[in-house]
Structure 1
Amino acid sequence: MNIGQPLRDLGAVESQSLREAILALEEPVWQEEQLRQKKYSDVHYNTESVILIFCDHDNWPDVSVVKGNGWERLHEHAVPLMHNIIGRYYPVGGTIIRAMAAKLKAGTTITPHTDNHQSFHHSHRIHVPITTNNKVRFMIDGRPHRFEVGKAYEINNQQRHGVINGGDEDRITFIFDYIPGPSPA
């Protein structure tokens, strides 16, 4: 969604429970679903995801939201966090159309891109850092931003954005997309 600025700092959030649950995931769990890597291969080829929910937006605005393999593993930690953020910053009563833990492997990048599908024009894209390092830069409109663990951010996904992980450690972020209101149309 175009939020009128590149990034909105949503401040501190209680993400420790979700962080611990994500960090406890075994490596094969990150390989179970390749939906994002296949659907968006030009951008997400260096990533791995644990998907809680995802939408089939081929029939936009009639989206079907389905649970992924990550739902059973993470929902009890993720849902309260998402509802807390929504309750603090957005009109309640909308729909979470995507939620996932996303890993960017050490020493790799997510190439700069703009999220073009209509669902991205209508949804707020929220990032909650789980791990990071001093060599991670989230680029929005050509400018670097550093995200901190324990905080949440909304990015303007209508501006060109990408991520550089120049460090020796993977960067993991919990991401969810929220559409306010009763219908995404």
Structure 2
Amino acid sequence: MNIDVPLRLLGPVDYVPLQLAIEKASEEQWLENQYRQRKFEVHYQTQSLVMYFLESERWPEIKVNREPGYELLAEAAQPLMDKIIQDHYEPGGVIIRAMAAKLLPDGIIKPHVDKHASFEFSHRIHIPIVTNPKVRFMINGRPNQFQVGNAYEINNQQQHSVMNKGAEARTTFIFDYVPPSQMHKFTLVA
């Protein structure tokens, strides 16, 4: 969503239950869903534990699917997402994407703007799970360092990229929330 700033700090969150759930994931689970890596070149150097994902090929008719990561993450992630929505957004909308995303050491997500129409009216929230001082999240050419323990909303309608020059993977939980005031822009099917 094109919010009024490149990055909005939402503040402290209780991320530890989600961190523990993510730590339980096997390498096979991280590699199970490769849709994002195959479909979007910028995500080639990432891995994902996908909880919810949007079927958008028939836009503006959409379907939100529970993906394999749901069983692993939902118990910890859903209450956290609900709390963030309750504290910062108009309740009663729909989460259209939710996943843990890992950027490997020396990995890069090249500069891009999120293009699908759904990104224009969904809030993109990031919850850092593991990071290091050598991770840079660039928005409009300016570096940002996300701190574990906080949640952020990014303006994904501005150019953004991520680089991880650290020795460990950077992991973040990302979800896209459409508030009820924007739900008239598409049809949600079961």
Class of the TM-score when normalised by the shorter of the 2 chains: over 0.9
Match of 2:188 in 1: none
- CA drift of 1:184 comes to 5.0
- In structure 2, the residue corresponding to 1:63 is in which secondary structure? strand
> Quick one: distance in 2 between partners of 1:38 and 1:85?
30
Match of 2:49 in 1: 50
| Pairing 1:116-135 to 2, within 5 Å after superposition | 116-135=115-134
> Quick one: distance in 2 between partners of 1:184 and 1:23?
38
Match of 1:160 in 2: 159
| Pairing 1:1-185 to 2, within 5 Å after superposition | 1-40=1-40, 42-181=41-180, 183=183, 185=185
- CA drift of 1:59 comes to 2.0
Point out where structure 2 has 5 or more consecutive residues left out of the alignment.
Answer: 186-190
Point out where structure 1 has 5 or more consecutive residues left out of the alignment.
Answer: none
- CA drift of 1:80 comes to 0.1
- CA drift of 1:137 comes to 0.5
Normalising by structure 2, we get a TM-score of: 0.95
* Deviating more after overlay: 77-86 vs 53-62: 53-62
> Quick one: distance in 2 between partners of 1:63 and 1:149?
32
> Quick one: distance in 2 between partners of 1:49 and 1:159?
23
Q: Which letter maps to 2:160?
A: H
- CA drift of 1:61 comes to 2.4
> Quick one: distance in 2 between partners of 1:71 and 1:33?
12
Normalising by structure 1, we get a TM-score of: 0.97
> Quick one: distance in 1 between partners of 2:26 and 2:65?
23
Q: Which letter maps to 1:155?
A: I
- In structure 1, the residue corresponding to 2:158 is in which secondary structure? coil
Q: Which letter maps to 1:178?
A: Y
Q: Which letter maps to 2:15?
A: S
Q: Which letter maps to 1:31?
A: L
- In structure 2, the residue corresponding to 1:175 is in which secondary structure? strand
CA contact (8 A) 1:61 1:184 kept: no
Q: Which letter maps to 1:35?
A: Y
